[in-house]
Structures are given as structure tokens and as C-alpha cells.
Structure 1
Amino acid sequence: MKQRGRHRRRRRGRALSAALTGAALALTGAATMISASQATVADDPGVLKPLTSAAGTDALRLTEHRVPAPWLDRLSAQMGEPVGVDAVLGSADRALRDADDCTAEDREALPVSPAATRAYCWDRADTEGWRPGAVTTSGDADEDGRWGTHRVVLSAWARDADTPGGGLARVSFVDADDPARLSHTSALLAVPVDGGHDYRGLASPVSGMVWYQDKLLVTAGSGDRDALYVYDLDRIQRATTEADAVGRVPGGWAADGHPYVLPAVASYRLPDTDGAARPGALSLDRGTAPDSLVAGERVSADGDRPTRLWRYAFSTDPARTGLPATDTAGHVDAVEAYETGAAEVGGVLSHRPAGAVRSEWYLSRAAGGQDGRGTLWRQNTEGARAAECGADRSQRCWSGLAGSLSYEGRTGEVWSQSGRMLFALPLASVEDALD
């Protein structure tokens, strides 16, 4: 029986590979047909320019605000003991489909070059009314690539404020132990209020997200006073009713129909000044000492200023697991910052190859105001280079929506999400496409 199971898996793997190859070939053909005004040259962002002035770096400073422990304890006392990631994965009852079972329309969201080597799509019924956001994995959480015994992908989704029920954000926990069979369930992101007697939903898109140690850091939209929220993955609460409401309701606790809710344990606020940089993309860099949280903002293609990229150091204090390092006043200062000419940055990744003296920065850029596909760039203080595809060497080879980038060091893969497609590809293939 085991041998037959392995044969079925090999056949399924070959089918998936063929589907992805066919999709890439079709998209490559489409890329060659893009008009010359779009296909041949994307705006070169040039070199990274170090940002060193006090005025420039002060705009990146965050101030930490911890949710009082009694608030969180009060929630737990009323909702029941918190659960961890294992319990959530044990109830994952929704499936993602392999790429060969996804529609051609969904697969159009995949990049042309470099091509995905693993891809899955979300069921329309599970995502109706929700927009995809950032991705992070257990490879960010722990260097061995696992959380306990599990390989996990976290996928963020948001609902617009003008939809029935108002704006909300959630995180889907994907059990990725078996690459041929991914399953998931979701937890609503929330913020404790009223001294911990209640909570509200996080009414914000999540364009950036990093799971580091036991904490999950997510970005907040421009309508929120805070730039980042932090969630403790050992403090996941079970909802006690399937009501569409959020928070305390007659007879229990609701999470808009989701089985779990994550109450924030901290947030980070921007300086109250013009020009403060709001993180839009996040990723983890283990090539620094200590590990660092990489951030980038999103400036529109018709904006009148450069885009800023920067990093914050994570704390090495055992009492502050998963949190950025602060000074005695609770400030988090950038330890490195740059300006780039790249606009519409949807994902940012910083990685220092073994033996290298500097980090390379990878930027996924959305199509912006132009139709068609986005671009993928590698940039440093000496220049920039884009991935190319098609007979005319178009640079518009990436997903048009250009989602976040997350690097898993154990497998060497970069994960991202575009539309209803969740996908991965080796960082080595990114390098090949750029070289």
C-alpha cells in the first residue's frame, strides 16, 4: 500500500510540474505580445542610496505600546485557556487545490520568470469578499523551518470597510506538512479594548507580515494610528459562537464566523510628523546580527519622492522574544535605511549570500497604473537588475499584484501570494532569472 501511495504522489507531482510549466509557457507567450511601451524597459530604480540624516531616520522611528497583561489575562479568563498553533492546525478542515486543479484565470496571477515550482489556489467560497495580503512561514519562525513538528504557511486576508460587516483582517493557518495536500483554517485578528472585557476587529489590510519566534508582526493601513501590530501565537483564543459579529455577544464570543481569534499583545506607533514612513512590506533577514525586521513603504508610480527601505533589529532579551529591540524610552530605531527610485513596491526581501560582504535587496513591484504584469528587481548600492522574459526580454515578468516575499532558509524557497494563488520558488531560480 505504501508503495502505491508513493507512485500516486509521483504522478501527481509530475502533473503539477507539467501544469506549472504549461502555465509559464503560456504566460511567456503572452508577455512577448505586450506593447513595447510596457514590455521592454521598466523604470530602472538605480542604486540604493544610504539614508543617514537625523531627519530621515527619525521618520522611521517607532514607539512601542504593550497591551497590559491584565487585559490579556482577563480575556483568557472569560474566553477560556488560549491554544497554540498545533491545536489550530488540528482543526484545519479546508483544502487548497494544487495548481493543476486551478482555473486558467487563477494561474494567470503566477509569475512568468522566475516560474513557480509549487503553487496552490484558494477556493472561491473561502475567499469571497476578501483580498489577499502578506505571507510568512514557519521558516521565519524557526531556523529549522518547522513550528514544533509542523511546516506552516500563514496567509493574510482583509475585507474592505465598505463590505457588509465592515473592514476586518484574518490569518489563515496552512498545514504544509504534506506538499501534495495543504489544508487550512483561519483566525480573526483583533485588538483588546475596554480593559480586556472585549475586543474589536483589526480593520486594516495586511500588506506585510513576519512570524518570528512566538510572535506575529503585521502591518496596519494608513487609517490606523499604529503602524504595526504584534500577536502572540501562544495566545490564540477559541471563538465560542459562529455569529457574524465581532467581540462579546449574548451567549459568548464571536469572530465573524471564524473559529479562532488572535488578540494583539502590542503595537508600534509612528512619529506624529509629516513624512513618517509607514511600513507596507515586511520580511525577516537572518543574515544580520541580530536578526532583523526588513521593511519597505509603498510609493505610487506618480509619487514625487523616493521609496524608503529599512530594517529594525530584533531583541536578544529572552524576556522579549519575537519583539524588536527598544531603547529605555520604548523607541525602535532603524539600524539601516536606504532610498530607492523603485515605485509600487509590494514585497521586499533582504538576503546576504554565504561569504558575501553585503546584502542584496529584492523588490517585487506592482504594475501600478499600467496594465499587465509587475517586475522583480535585485538592488544594492552599486545598481539594479530586473528579471527578464520573452523573446523581447520584457522586464514585466512578475505578478501584476506583486505581493509580499518571504524566504525560507531551510528549503531555499521564496514564498508569495497573488490573487488566489499561493506559490513558492527557489531563491536560486530568482538569481538565475536576474543573471
Structure 2
Amino acid sequence: MMRERFDRIEIIDLRGDVRRGERAGVEADQGVFNIMVGTAITLAIADGSKAEGEPADLQYHDSWTEGLFARGAKLGWLADGAETGILPNSVVVDRELLDDMRPRPFQNGEWLSLREVFAFSKSGMKSGNDDIFASVLQAGLRPQVEPLLRVRADDRYDRSLERYYSYRPLDRRWFFNDLGLLDRPGPMMQRVWGRDNVGLYALPSGTGAGPAVWCHGLLPDYHAFRGSYGGYAFPLHDRRPNIDAPNITAGLIASLSAAYGEPVTAEEVFDAILCLLSASSYTLRFAEDLEDVFPRVPFPTGHEIFQDAVRVGGEIKAVETFAREPGENYRQPEFVRVVTRPLGAIAPVDYADGSITLCENGSGRITGIPLAVWSFSVSGYRLLPRWLEARVGLPVDLALVRELRDICGRIAELIDLFAEADIVLNATLRETLTREALGFEPVEHDANDE
């Protein structure tokens, strides 16, 4: 009714809804009033300027897009606009009369969803009972699984079904890959993944703070993104024998090559996406959109910026998939230093002043763990504390300490790489390739993100 009766409508979204807690990377978002619900200003103008029967022109302004979260900053923004009666950077809302009066996610749907970039995507495998089918140690699988096998007619334990896989970010474990026993075995996903692959993993909604995707070098678990709420894998290659080809949509590779005037490979597209969606501000900028849909990719218009994204994304991929050691700066003697020799098993660990103690008897004190490394999380899943928690009760030997130092080094390097990716994202967002420029049809709704 409003769009039919008015000629122009301008919406100024001041956010500030604190009822659900912090949203995807947005900390301390404040309302402009002392209330818990969010606030928006709607200006509806009837001045006879639109043609007969046409709906009102609709413009949308977002305080989050402007990087405004504090009450004072939002009120200052409004005051500045009051001088001229105009706020900059409005987005035209082009939707049906009964749709929301806000843009479709990600620039009115102008950017491609991960579902459009990759020809095949599927959720990862799920055991249904990790205490039985998954183990930190390979030797721990058999005693966990055999009691269950005894209730079946065929109770033989087949060691060939033991497989190393990506359980959580930077946490690789073993699982018993019996397709008849697993709750969600994902046979198609396993065939596509094959024995040698890498893939992005993302949530279809509710991404939360931190990187919007994670890269795994082993078959991923269903909860391989944040430890809950499932997720989807987007492999770089489709390893099925009748296909065995890159999994990036062929039309996208051709379109990017044409746009840049240079040939683009599937791996370059993969690495560029990993960079842009890992940028430290990506989930902050697009917090609201990521509540509802898969992450979307803002490909830069310039080939040089694209190459920067490829370079940074390649480094992120190498660190997240264990393809190389952390850089030398993240393996210095003072970084994660063992002060006292560990004697015993890992006990529940507390963090204080950059140090932890691994064993209940007070031995195994380790210093030099930056707070940023200890606190680092993917959508609320704190990598280092959860990695240690999963190993409580295991003997603290040299191999475990080395692995702990390696994980800390990887987290520290990723923090720096995500900041570098943020520079690339900022350059990209100045001018991006639209779906029309890439030859993709307009999106009427977001059903393919469900």
C-alpha cells in the first residue's frame, strides 16, 4: 500500500537490535534509543512525481554499511545528512510490492553465491556418534567401533575403512568410514572429493564472526565449519571418474578471463574467493546478509587486484590445509615456549597472561601464547581451546607439544593473512563485477541459498 500511494520512500536503517546478541562480527552495536529493538526511519513522500500506476522509488541506507555502530556515530551521521537533506551511498531497492523494503542480500543480489560459483556442493559426512566413529588417535578407533560391530552378523573390523579427515578447523581426526553405519555418510560427497582435493566449507545462513569460509584439505565433517549447525563443502575438483575436472562453473572462468583480458584458472578463482571471504571485515560488513544466505563473492573489476586476492588466498589455503609449516616468524623460540617439562596427561586448561599449564600436577607450563591466538574463533568456535579440550586425558609427549605449537603458529599467521585479505577486499569493493557483467541471470529470490 505504501509503495502504491507514495512516490518516493527512503529507509534509514539504524540497526541496534540487541535482543539476539551480537550479530556476525558486529560488536557493541548500539541503538539510538534506550530500547532493545532496532530502529529505522522511514520517509514516505507523496509529491506527484511518479507516473500513474508505478510503485514508489525505494532507497535504502544502512548504518552498518557505513561502519557506524556507536549511538553517537549514528546520530552524527543523521545530523550530517540533515544539512543537505541527503545521505550518501543509498541502495535502490528493486523488489516486488509485498517483499521486504530492503535490498536483496549482497548488493541487491548483484554478486554470485558460492552455490553459483561451484558446479557441485554438498554437506559433509556426519557420523551420528563421534564418540564411537571419530578419534583423535588412529589407534583409538578400533576399541570404540568393535563393540558396535559385535551386534551385527558380520563383526569383523576392516582397517581399510579408517580415514583421516577434517573434523573442525585445524583439527584433523580419524573416523571409521563405514557407509552402512554412519548417520550421514554422504557417498556422493565422498566420491566427488576423492583422495586428493581441497574445498571451501561454509554455512548457508548464520555465519557469525570471523572468516566466512574455511579451506579443508581432507574430506570435511558435517560440522567442519564451526562445530555445529552443519555446513556445505565446495570442492575445487570433482574427482568422480566420469568427470575428474575442476568444480568451478566453466562459464565463470570464461567470463572472468574475458573481463580481465587474461586467462584465469579454476585454482586462481578458488584462491581469490578464499581471500575475499576470509577478510577480517567481510562478516562485519555483510553481517545482516549472512544471517540469511550463503556468502557471496565480490569479484574485483581489475586483474591486478584479482591477482592480489589469488596470492593471499593461496597462502591462506596452504596454512589452513597443512600444506606447509607456519611461516618462520610464527616458529620463533619465544613463541609458544615450553617452560617446564610435561609429566602426565593433558588436563582441562585455563589461560592466564599468555600461558597455559597442560598437566594437572602443574607441569607442562607453556608461555608465549598471544591472547589473539587463544581467543581466535570461527563463528564462535574457539579453535585452540577446543583443540586442547578434545585431547584431555592423552599423554603429553613431544609429538603433541609439537602439534600444539604448530596449531598456534597457524592461527597467528592466519590472523595476519586475514588482515592482509582485508586490504584486498577494500580495494575490491571500490568496483566489483556484477552478475550481469559475468553473464549470469538476475536472481529473483534466494532459494538457491536455502
TM bracket (short chain): under 0.3
Q: Which has the larger radius of gyration?
A: 2
Q: More strand by proportion, 1 or 2?
A: 1
Q: TM-score, normalised by structure 2?
A: 0.25
